[in-house]
Amino acid sequence: MEAEGLPEPDFSIEQLGERRFPSPLQRIMEVRYRSDNECLLVQPEFDCRIEPDHAPAAAATMELAGPRAQVFFDTGRVRAAIVTCGGLCPGLNAVIRGLVMQLWYLYDCRQVLGIRFGYQGLGNAAQESIMLTPARVSAINGRGGTILGSSRGTPPTAELVDNLERRGIDMLFVIGGDGSMRGGTALWEEIRRRRLQIAVVGIPKTIDNDIPWVRRTFGFDTAVAEAVKAINAAEVEANGMPHGIGLVKLMGRAAGFIAATACVASGNANACLIPEVPFQLEGPNGLLALLEKRLHERNHAVVVVAEGAGQHLVAGQGTDASGNPHLGDIGACLKQRITEHFHSRNLRCAMKYIEPSYLIRAAAPNASDQLYCDQLARAAVHAAMAGKGGLLIGNWNGRLVHIPMQALKGRTSQVNPHGELWFSVLENTGQPRLLD
Amino acid sequence: MEAEGLPEPDFSIEQLGERRFPSPLQRIMEVRYRSDNECLLVQPEFDCRIEPDHAPAAAATMELAGPRAQVFFDTGRVRAAIVTCGGLCPGLNAVIRGLVMQLWYLYDCRQVLGIRFGYQGLGNAAQESIMLTPARVSAINGRGGTILGSSRGTPPTAELVDNLERRGIDMLFVIGGDGSMRGGTALWEEIRRRRLQIAVVGIPKTIDNDIPWVRRTFGFDTAVAEAVKAINAAEVEANGMPHGIGLVKLMGRAAGFIAATACVASGNANACLIPEVPFQLEGPNGLLALLEKRLHERNHAVVVVAEGAGQHLVAGQGTDASGNPHLGDIGACLKQRITEHFHSRNLRCAMKYIEPSYLIRAAAPNASDQLYCDQLARAAVHAAMAGKGGLLIGNWNGRLVHIPMQALKGRTSQVNPHGELWFSVLENTGQPRLLD
Amino acid sequence: MEAEGLPEPDFSIEQLGERRFPSPLQRIMEVRYRSDNECLLVQPEFDCRIEPDHAPAAAATMELAGPRAQVFFDTGRVRAAIVTCGGLCPGLNAVIRGLVMQLWYLYDCRQVLGIRFGYQGLGNAAQESIMLTPARVSAINGRGGTILGSSRGTPPTAELVDNLERRGIDMLFVIGGDGSMRGGTALWEEIRRRRLQIAVVGIPKTIDNDIPWVRRTFGFDTAVAEAVKAINAAEVEANGMPHGIGLVKLMGRAAGFIAATACVASGNANACLIPEVPFQLEGPNGLLALLEKRLHERNHAVVVVAEGAGQHLVAGQGTDASGNPHLGDIGACLKQRITEHFHSRNLRCAMKYIEPSYLIRAAAPNASDQLYCDQLARAAVHAAMAGKGGLLIGNWNGRLVHIPMQALKGRTSQVNPHGELWFSVLENTGQPRLLD
Amino acid sequence: MEAEGLPEPDFSIEQLGERRFPSPLQRIMEVRYRSDNECLLVQPEFDCRIEPDHAPAAAATMELAGPRAQVFFDTGRVRAAIVTCGGLCPGLNAVIRGLVMQLWYLYDCRQVLGIRFGYQGLGNAAQESIMLTPARVSAINGRGGTILGSSRGTPPTAELVDNLERRGIDMLFVIGGDGSMRGGTALWEEIRRRRLQIAVVGIPKTIDNDIPWVRRTFGFDTAVAEAVKAINAAEVEANGMPHGIGLVKLMGRAAGFIAATACVASGNANACLIPEVPFQLEGPNGLLALLEKRLHERNHAVVVVAEGAGQHLVAGQGTDASGNPHLGDIGACLKQRITEHFHSRNLRCAMKYIEPSYLIRAAAPNASDQLYCDQLARAAVHAAMAGKGGLLIGNWNGRLVHIPMQALKGRTSQVNPHGELWFSVLENTGQPRLLD
């Protein structure tokens, strides 16, 4: 999976102030603390011939996540809050559990508020919170959804900060997507403007896996596994009838990572359509001609489409509460256009349309995601205790790192049409370039 | 689950002729053969007070399935054929495996044709068949779909019988639903008219579980388990947002067994709508008022609807290739009507609509269904070898029995609105009578 | 699955006294109440030739379970208690949930005590109980284990009844096996002797499925599904190495239902050893010769053994706290004897031994068992509210029935070596009679 | 997960000769070829303060995997062979599928031999091979085990190379562990000595994840997920009885990655014992005292032990056919020692011992591993076609790389007792340092 090729942003991380307290971690084990000076080269690949010495004096680097020897807060007195924003994603509860466990057992923090229903709940002075304890969260890591509830949209920043002040919160953990991180940036700026001492740390959540510098977002692994089930079911259905066409619509507004990855993992798709790669329906190289040929030769076909693909074929209007543009329904469009095409040519076609999105989003996280959520939560707690803010926990080249929230601005991660993942899709599906 | 209360039909079973060959089963083990005279009382419940002697001299009985000591065919020379008809259902491959294994190992039958693509393939002289062997089928029992392919609709009976003759088939196993059993009746009548010696045995397949005298059809157990997953996902989604409504549309054209059973097994539904029980949307006792009340009190709700429910609200037209009337789309209707209702009252509602039908139909059969498919196949092979025809394998009060195909005529099995299953639904969902 | 052939016991059910209260169920729906006179013919099969009129004037019958129009207790004032005894079994929590939900919502009972740690906890005046409410149990039906905890063994009956009195309990639900039902009989007799008004209703729990008149115990279906996974893993392992032998030891002290059923469902076993069917290791017809032949011909083999099989080969001693004799470890014995046999003949053999028992017992119940647990719990609540006692909920020919606990005395249900299930095992495994 | 800290080996890769053929890949898509000069910095982390310019002129680098523009072989004429060695691991079939698919569709290679039963089969001139085609392998990626069979041990190198020559093999793909890679090094050296033109590429397989420069081996993710199930079952069992102790023995001869990772993912273990971290049973800080304390306070406990842990407590002898020392059975030892400890103090303890190893090894790979296997296979095929040899496909900091097989010599990857993973284990289990 690849990120985009814009110029590197500034990766430096802001800090609430001097760290005056020794970390209480040492009592657990002999910890290897990290210093803020330990950093990760953003670009570790190079050409030995051209750069034999590889001396990027000004090379971009990222700050590594991990425990700091000195912390900013008097940890046992901290009042922390957790909020989950936007659509569901497998692992939300596992992140919540990780945060609570680590605040409690590593840093002796005994006040952890669970904000209900996302930023909406944080902005609503009347909305009650849940007091989170190890007993309350110890068994939730394997469950889908979020025990806190979520919501879309962001109330005015001032109201959010007013409520943080009113509730006496010292650190806020925001589990959310792109829009929530934009909201987090605004929050953090307002906190700095008011000279408050509230840490704000984001744990990026996007089932589409489209956040830059986060190679893999939590829940993605589970989502792919569930998507594979749907593709395999489509293959069974398509095979079960003469001229069967299985059509699966998956998530992926601007990035086709789930669709592409699930196609390769399943090995059962014959065409994969994603937002990053344009395609035509009509014409000798179009999808319809491909399907006609395949049904003629092999009697069945499976097509996987990401929801953001082929938007030139459908008319979407307006935006949702998170500010995302409404997409046209490419799944319904393909279902209709394919059926019509075959009927208009007096060819048979048994269309089997599967849209498993909610089943995927609500799935219980698999073991791999449960583990990963625990790691992300640990990194977030360390960062907040160190008094850092306006950052999110990234994952770059296998390391957890601190990424400034504002570094996301204007960027998104997409499937590289000339990269490894898409190449493996093409090889797996055998699909040609669907353009004249 | 309950069958309907029509007068009992004639349960007597037809036979191709005298059985002149000893069964080869004895070489496997000491078999307890069944005689055609062993029968099962259709109605084993009675009132001790009113009928202290319980002497129903003319009580209806059914013939028990099982191996016969004498068989009609010279089993080693038999040419058998298997056909799968209609929509997919978990367990089709397990039945195919069971038939092949038992024909081969119990009765030394070495010629088993797999007819491709249902009755359409049987009626098509040009359609090639698959020669089925233990090696070919030994590992298919755990897979979804059908290796033979299926189709809807029935070509003219005469053509089917012509093809049976042309291919030299001695016994035909029809795995199919209601319509396929009607087709099977016609086939059998034509076979008798032509005085052919071809056994025809049906293994009832209906994911809706709506065939009379078949308490449980294969695949139903798996289907319920998959449906439960969808209901649980809907609950997670509905709980994840303020004012979330999870809406799940399940199979069930005329019978709500899957919806009702899955609601009880899941314990997570707040309303269950099935074809057998009328309901209103509007009015003080209607579904909309119920949802409004529940969202007010509990902030979320889950509704499960069988595809055949509430047809007064939607306009369906025409029939499909299997002769079933096209149903109006009650799922889409409820999704729209509920959303509109809340919007028109300026109430919030986050609608999460899940339609998992193809995922359910294409599912791999669970262990219980794999076992059951093996049992059904065994009973079917015994019946065919005994030279019986025009029957299907029923399941009555825990016994496998022979049911004449024509006994299905004009009957269907439905959820009894005054029975145990529906009572448990009401108790689980807490839903009132949704009528004025 | 078959029960034994002893003479029928007395199936009449005892009652605490006259039922003076109308059932509160009518407010939920139009209930079809059952009368105590509605009964089920124990033996619904007969020979039409010999008994053309089928007039068993004195035929044995069972009382059907279900709601009664009049109940014994003033239901809103009832104090109920639930206890889980013996080893774990999938579905314990689902039964607990069902009991609580139905006591609460059907009968307005607001005091439901969860007794901790089985009869041991019931006999221990110092052991605290859990107050069970719908909120506490609503989400436990899909979880393995028991939230109450269990234990083995039965304290003196008088102490148990003392504690029932001391805690003011009106009805006790015992979820347990053979031994617990014996304990329940003693409890009930002591209650009657003291002229107390405490109903005692058992819900039979035995993962071995060996209780008479209970065709299927809850959890059995799940257990078989888990056992199938182990058999399939053994097949993968055996196939993965030259001369691989997969050996799986399953539960089944006196009855091989799990082993036999799982072998058929899996289709992957080559020999199935159960307590009901003797076998030899040595000799030309013994298991060792069979394995040698199979490895020679097919390079791998899978053997499934129930823990109670082949006890002539191993020395077990003493009894456990539940009074069951300690079995010798037939799994370890076979592992050793088979390995030695091949080594002694300079033949290769790669032994893969799997013992999944705790994984099976602790499994989450599948949807089918969750549903069944709900039905059993409902029947148990109806029986207790009607003031019945000393009975358990049986399952006979597809109907839930009341069986006197003492009818179990001296009986156990076993696989019939001449019946359908065993025949299907032989056909699936292809195993010969492993005796000279 | 961390690798060890030895001095970096030589990472340069050997080559059969000049690449004279243009790669046929371009016809699939616009490929981004990699040059051998593209390399990856082994150590991308540094201290900005100490090394502000980060100019490691002589820093160690690895060659990146991927397609080369020129290849060594005339791809359409290549005869490839695949061999699977050592114990089973989830994903073997998925790697086989990936190799066949990519040889066939990317490089037009039509002769792919599947060597049966590992190096033993390769060394046995009489052992038949399987001709592998897309049709043969297209549906095997989701299945456990290996369709080729495996074996332990390595016949004399000369015989293996003789057979490679005799069978006319141009490239050999070795899917195997540590020992198999040692065998592969010897093979490659002999090939070079004989001046043959046979590429040898390894795909590292070790369920223990203990191969250096391979952060994650295929199947590890699946193995952890299965291990989590066992730990969760142990927790259910331990909770189900008073004083229950769940003890789970997992794989991990020299490296405790599975045990450690599964403990964190599950969140249900109270102690984790791995080979890298010594522990005591006895004494005030020993495991027995810890368990006694925990059972006193919390009534149950769960212990997870890797098979190679605590070898000072058990006596293992000899080595197996792969040359690995036989380990003493620490699981059986702990089971006995813990039980004895409690009995000797007249304390109760219900021991529940689970050993799921074969169930884990034989598991079907999850979607994530299926995807990963496809990627590994692709990299291996590119490397072989480029005429490289004596290398394996590594995974370093998120990139697939070429690692010389001999670089493994004398090294193994282990859990770092001062690193992130072990720290998260300590935090999750709450276990103290189990040493005086």
Contact residues on chain A for D224, CB-CB shorter than 8 A: 367-368, 371
> What per-residue confidence (pLDDT) applies to B58?
56
Residue at token pair 């959010």:
A160
A83 strand-pairing partners: A174
DSSP D265-286: HH---SEEE-TTS---SSSTTS
What pLDDT is attached to residue B317? 72
**Residue C132: alpha-carbon gap to chain centroid:** 24
Least reliable range by pLDDT among A110-114, C78-82, C115-119, C407-411:
C407-411
Helix axis angle, D367-385 to A257-266, nearest 10° = 80
Q: Looking at CA atoms only, how far is residue B292 from chain A in angstroms?
A: 19
Alpha carbon distance, N-terminus to C-terminus of chain A: 27
Q: Report which of C61, C43, C5, C394 is spatially closest to residue B41, judged by C-alpha positions.
A: C43
Q: Do C138 and B267 touch (CB under 8 A)?
A: yes
Q: Are residues B329 and B375 in the same domain?
A: no
- Residue A324's CB is within 10 A of a number of other CB atoms, namely 17
Residue A55: inside a domain: no
B-interface mutation test, from A116, A150, A207, A237, most B Cβ less than 10 A away: A237
- In this predicted model, what pLDDT tens digit does every residue of C48-60 receive, in sequence order? 887 665 545 457 8
pLDDT, average across residues A269-279: 97
pLDDT digits (tens, 9 = 90+) for C226-281: 999 999 999 999 999 999 999 999 999 999 999 999 999 999 999 999 999 999 99
Q: Are residues D276 and D372 in the same domain?
A: no
Give the Cα separation of A249 and A247 in Å (integer).
7
pLDDT at residue number B60: 85
Measured CA to CA, the distance from residue D406 to residue C120 in angstroms comes to: 62
B neighbour chains, 3+ CB pairs within 8 Å: A, C
Q: Is residue D414 part of a domain?
A: no
Question: Among all chains, which residue has been given the structure tokens 């470890």?
Answer: C329
Q: Is D208 left (phi over 0), alpha (psi -120 to 50) or beta?
A: alpha
Contact criterion met (CB < 8 Å) for C120 and D242: yes
Q: Which residues contact C408 (CB under 8 A, 6 or more apart)?
A: C178, C181, C182, C211, C212, C392
Co-location of C256 and C150 in the same domain:
no
Residue ranges of A 76-115 with Cβ closer than 8 A to chain B = 88
Compute CA D205 distance to the chain's CA centroid, rounded to the nearest angstrom: 4
Q: Is residue D7 part of a domain?
A: no
Which D residues in the span 192-231 are in contact with A, Cβ-Cβ below 8 Å? 215, 221, 224-225, 228
- The answer on A389 and A286 residing in a single domain is no
Rg (CA), chain B: 24
Contact list, B385 vs chain C (CB under 8 Å): none
**H/E element, A394:** strand A391-396
Tokens of B235: 């609950």
DSSP element (H, E) containing A340: helix A330-344
Q: What is the pLDDT of residue D416?
A: 94
**Once rounded to an integer, what is the mean pLDDT over residues C164-168?**
97
* A145/B contact by beta carbon, under 8 A: yes
Are residues C303 and C187 both part of a single domain?
Answer: no
Residue in chain D closest to A416 (alpha carbons) equals: D32
* pLDDT class of B2 with cuts at 50, 70, 90: very low
Please report residues of D whose CB lies closer than 8 A to that of A233: none
Closest-CA distance of chain D to residue C359, Å: 6
pLDDT of residue A189: 97
Say whether D427 and A66 touch across the interface (CB within 8 A): no
Evaluate whether residue C55 is within a structural domain: no
Contact predicate D112/D82, CB 8 Å: yes
CB atoms within 10 A of CB C324: 17
Whether C432 has its CB under 8 Å from any CB of chain B: the answer is no
Q: Phi/psi at A52 (nearest 5 deg)?
A: -60, -30
Beta-carbon neighbour count of residue B154 at 10 Å?
Answer: 25
User: What confidence tier does D57 reach under pLDDT thresholds 50, 70, 90?
Assistant: very low
Closest by CA to B380, choosing from B109, B122, B60, is B109
Q: Are B85 and B149 in contact (CB under 8 A)?
A: no
C49 found inside a domain: no
Of A41, A45, A61, the CB nearest to D38: A45
**Which ipTM was obtained for this model?**
0.93
Range of the domain at B307: 226-359
Mean pLDDT value of segment A111-115: 98
Q: Are residues B99 and B173 in the same domain?
A: yes
Instruction: Measure A88 CA to nearest chain D CA, in Å.
Output: 20
CA nearest C342: which of C273, C242, C270, C232? C242
User: How far apart (Å, rounded) are the C-alpha atoms in residues B327 and B335?
Assistant: 16
pLDDT given at position A55: 47
Q: Residues of D with CB below 8 A from C120's CB?
A: 242
By mean pLDDT, which of A321-335, B61-75, C227-241, C274-288 is the weakest? Answer: A321-335
Q: Which residues is D199 bridged to in the sheet?
A: D171
Mind telling me how many Å the CA of D189 is from chain C's nearest CA?
A: 28
Residues A374 and A94: beta-carbon distance below 8 Å = yes
Distance from C-alpha of A390 to C-alpha of A201, rounded to nearest angstrom: 6
Mean pLDDT of chain D: 93
Neighbour subunits, C (≥3 Cβ pairs < 8 A): B, D
Mind listing the pLDDT tens digit for each residue in C101-128? 999 999 999 999 999 999 999 999 999 9
Half-sphere exposure for A103 (CA within 13 Å, toward CB): 31
CATH of residue B335:
3.40.50.460
Q: Does B174 lie in the same domain as B26?
A: yes
Mark whether C248 and C311 lie in a shared domain. yes
**Structural domain contains residue B275:** yes
Whether the per-residue pLDDT at A56 is higher than 70: the answer is: no
Which residue matches tokens 């089973």? D88
Of C327, C360, C393, which residue sits at a domain end? Answer: C360
Please state, in angstroms and rounded to a whole number, the distance separating the CA atoms of residues A49 and A56: 15
Residues of A in contact with D430 (CB under 8 A): 105
Model confidence at B285: pLDDT above 90: yes
What are phi and psi for residue B44, nearest 5 degrees? -90, 0
Interface test with C, best of B95, B103, B397 (most C CBs within 10 A): B397
pLDDT of amino acid B57: 46
CB atoms C236 and D144 under 8 Å: yes
**What phi and psi, each to the nearest 5 degrees, are found at residue A269?**
-95, 150
Q: Are D114 and D26 within one domain?
A: yes
Residues of chain C contacting residue D236, judged by C-beta atoms under 8 Å apart: 88, 143-145, 362
Confidence of residue B326 (pLDDT cuts 50, 70, 90): confident
Return the structure tokens found at B141.
């029992």
pTM of the model: 0.95
Chain D contact for C124 (CB, 8 A cutoff):
no
**Domain-embedded: residue B299:** yes
Nearest to D294 by CA among D253, D330, D249, D244: D244
Residue that finishes a domain, picked among D328, D359, D390 = D359
Q: How far apart are CA B231 and CA B432, in angstroms?
A: 20
Taking alpha carbons only, the member of D65, D56, D58, D68 closest to residue D13 is D65
Taking only the tens place, the pLDDT of each residue in A210-237 is 999 999 999 999 999 999 999 999 999 9
- C199 DSSP β-pair partners: C171
Classify C171 as helix, strand or coil.
strand
Q: Are residues B373 and B238 in the same domain?
A: no
The region, left, alpha or beta by phi > 0 then psi within -120 to 50, assigned to residue B429 is alpha
DSSP label at residue D319: B
Q: Collect all residues of chain C within an 8 Å Cβ-Cβ radius of residue D232.
A: 362
Whether residue D270 lies inside any domain: the answer is yes
CATH label of the domain that carries residue C80: 3.40.50.450
Residues composing chain C: 436
Same domain? For B151 and B275 the reply is no
CA dihedral C51, C57, C59, C63 (to 10 degrees): 130
Say yes or no to pLDDT of D322 above 90: no
Tally of residues, chain D: 436
Q: Check whether residue B153 and residue B302 sit in a common domain.
A: no
Last residue of a domain, one of B359, B374, B399: B359
8 Å CB contact of C241 and D362: no
Nearest to D88 among C230, C240, C242 (CB): C240
Predicted confidence at residue D192, as pLDDT, reads 97
Q: Name the token pair of C332.
A: 């370890």
* Domain count within chain D: 2
**Average pLDDT score, chain B:** 93
Q: What are phi and psi of B130, to 5 degrees?
A: -110, 130
- C145 vs D229: CB contact, 8 Å cut-off? no
